[in-house]
Amino acid sequence: MTWYAVDGMDGSGKTTSSDFIHEQLEQEGRKVLEITHPNQDTTFGRTAARYLLKDGKGAVLISTLFYILDVLHSLRVKRKHGKEYDDIIFVRYSLAAAYMPECLCKPIYKIIEFFLPIPDVKIYVDVEPKIALQRIYERGEELETFETEEKLEKTRHRMHLITESWITINNSGTPEQTREQTKRILQYVRDEEDA
């Protein structure tokens, strides 16, 4: 089983990129489980998502706590059912550390990588903040607390501080360009597994 994490800031196209990977793996005849965080199928995920729509440090703290519980729940699902799948994809995982203040971002990310299992393939979906915000508006959903251009700029900067070991997808272009990047990544993963 290969475990993929597809992560990035709000509006970056994580779900689109993950769906491309999922689709390509299934076309190869592989059985794939995809879990998105916050997971709307769990109480933890729904609570985290609800508090992301509120302002204030208390709301951010509560959202963070329930996000962590949601991810831990998904890790339990992965451990329990992982052998039933050829591939598992987590959409959002450890880069949530980039939503913390810059002085805490790297230490929290290191703690996460120390205590939580590390995915086999870590994919960072990068995008210009203006493009991300435009995509967020096009979804027509209520804005989350981190979804302003200024906050997206800061989040992107902090993600760049902690993603040096990640494979990067530049998702500022067309869906076709993103699909081609995901194909190249999957070929790279196959080549590494064969080596």
Pairing of strands 167-170, 87-91: unpaired
CATH class of 2-37+87-194: alpha beta
Length of the chain: 195
Note whether 77 and 44 are within 8 A (CB).
no
Q: What is the pLDDT of residue 78?
A: 97
Contacts of 16 (CB under 8 A, 6+ apart): 171, 175, 178
Residues 24, 180: Cα–Cα separation, whole Å: 11
3-state secondary structure the chain: CEEEEEECCCCCCHHHHHHHHHHHHHHCCCCEEEEECCCCCCHHHHHHHHHHCCCCHHHHHHHHHHHHHHHHHHHHHHHHHHHHCCEEEEECCHHHHHHCCHHHHHHHHHHHHHHCCCCCEEEEEECCHHHHHHHHHHHCCCCCCCCCHHHHHHHHHHHHHHCCCCEEEECCCCHHHHHHHHHHHHHHHHHHHHC
Kindly state the tokens that stand for 98.
Answer: 């980039």
Residues 63, 144: Cα–Cα separation, whole Å: 11
Pairing of strands 87-91, 2-7: parallel
Q: What is the pLDDT of residue 180?
A: 95
**Neighbour tally for 117: CB within 10 Å:** 11
What is the pLDDT tens value at each position of the chain, 195 positions in all?
A: 999 999 999 999 999 999 999 999 999 999 999 999 999 999 999 999 999 888 888 888 899 999 999 999 999 999 999 999 999 999 999 999 998 899 999 999 999 999 999 999 999 999 999 999 999 889 887 778 788 889 999 999 999 999 999 999 999 999 999 999 999 999 999 888 887
Q: What is the pLDDT of residue 146?
A: 83
Give the residue among 78, 98, 84, 89 at the shortest CA–CA distance from 36: 89
Residues 105, 100: Cα–Cα separation, whole Å: 5
